[in-house]
Chains A and B, each alone.
Chain A
């Protein structure tokens, strides 16, 4: 079996230094974020260092929102003893964006230990964001000890009993999924039959030209099963989305940015606002990475997403907190 050498580019269709296979290696560390445009199911990716060459008008659209993830409020160990401060920096970053986002998506692990005061702190800090609406999905750290009862009471209003929901914004159909409940020994994230049936019905009536954005905590593609970084039954969920020309999947959980394109679907994971985790397989375990204090903010971040109507285009911009 031939192995390609590290960082070798096999197919550089977009002349952007990133090939499709290479997306798994396209991890935005230390300020080397990616700016992505999805056109007719094809993602173009530019490194952040080339953003200066881009026309800022291309980043504007009918709809823009910001994804934040993994705030882990309550975590207090190296390398980040103050996760409230870094969440506040993320909010300041959001408030400084030239195109103010209409709302925020939080892709889970809001809290570290599901404590009421941890949820309180996050809600309090996010109140200072220019965007007032926050759409949440739970991470496994948000449903500890009580099967998610507290999470559902706080954040699940208007959602299905299991916590999943959908909504429309300017012609874009958003679906928030829950894949952190009822996890089985030895397994990955799970959506479950009830949620899959709901999803099938939820998208059935939509035109295939409707842009779809799915967000959930654990990646809906298999990033690294050895560390549980994937979802058992995500293939079934994606099968219901096959007819759509533009599907974007936004996840958290792995505390680093990663992108992948598969047919009409673009997958994207966001940075944590709390602490970084190692690249797949590059440490004995996925535990928190300890980085020098001066480097911490360069490995935390937010994701800004812009949608331009008529172009089927999503511009996904990761920026660090540095």
Chain B
């Protein structure tokens, strides 16, 4: 009895963590042979990037969406990518094809910083 409860809770945990992965990288969980495009989303809200750091596999397209009343930009500190100014509800996407860490900021409000880690 105790053993089956333990197994059941293990399964529940596995499902939960699997669910978390699905949320983070939409599309990544489908069959590896098809090599579907992996995506991730970063929301700009209240003058901050959320989540401030995302870790994604190579080939992931990250999309930033501005949910603020004020325009923002997404600019790589090393100038790898640079968005035009994003007004409310506008989006910017960039596909990361190389491993590495990509710090970025809003060039209008430079206190806003974030990071994409590609591994």
Contact = CB atoms under 8 A, between A and B. Distances in A.
Interface of A: 77-78, 112-114, 140-141, 144-145, 183-188, 225-228, 284-288
A286 B71 CA distance: 13
**Chain A contact surface mostly:** loop
B71 A113 contact: yes
A140 B108 contact: yes
A72 to B, nearest CB: 9
Contact of A185 (B68, B69, B85, B113): B113
A149 to B, nearest CB: 14
A183 B107 contact: yes
A185 B87 contact: no
Interface residues on B, range: 20 to 34
Interface in B60-119: 68-71, 73, 77, 84-85, 87-88, 103-105, 107-111, 113
Contact of B85 (A78, A144, A285): A144
A226 B70 CA distance: 17
Interface string B21-51: 0000000000000000000000000111000
Nearest to A72: B70
A283 B78 CA distance: 31
Contacts of A287: 46-47, 68-70
Nearest to B103: A185
Contact of A227 (B69, B85, B103, B111): B111
Interface of B: 46-48, 68-71, 73, 77, 84-85, 87-88, 103-105, 107-111, 113
Given A185-B105, A285-B48, A113 B85 contact: yes
Contact of A145 (B85, B88, B104, B113): B85
Q: Which 5 A-B pairs have the closest CB atoms?
A: A185-B105, A285-B47, A285-B46, A228-B111, A183-B110
Contacts of A285: 46-48, 68
Contacts of B107: 183
Give the residue among A77, A112, A183, A188 with the most B Cβ atoms within 10 A: A183
16 contacts: A112-B71, A113-B85, A140-B109, A144-B71, A145-B84, A185-B103, A185-B104, A185-B105, A186-B113, A227-B47, A227-B111, A228-B110, A284-B46, A285-B48, A287-B46, A287-B47
A284 B69 CA distance: 14
Given A183-B107, A185-B105, 19 more contacts: A113-B87, A144-B71, A144-B84, A144-B108, A145-B84, A183-B108, A184-B110, A186-B105, A186-B110, A186-B111, A186-B113, A187-B110, A227-B47, A227-B111, A285-B46, A285-B47, A286-B47, A287-B46, A288-B70
B71 A228 contact: no
Contacts of B85: 113-114, 144-145
A188 B47 contact: no
A228 B108 CA distance: 10
A140 B85 CA distance: 11
A141 B52 CA distance: 24
Nearest to A77: B69
A185 B110 contact: yes
A187 B113 CA distance: 10
Nearest to B107: A183
A77 B88 contact: yes
A145 B109 CA distance: 14
Nearest to B105: A185
Nearest to A74: B87
Contacts of A225: 111
Contacts of B104: 185
Nearest to A144: B85
Contacts of B73: 144
Contacts of A141: 71, 108
B109 to A, nearest CB: 6
B66 to A, nearest CB: 12
Given A113-B87, A186-B111, A288 B105 contact: no
B26 to A, nearest CB: 27
A176 B64 CA distance: 35
A233 to B, nearest CB: 14
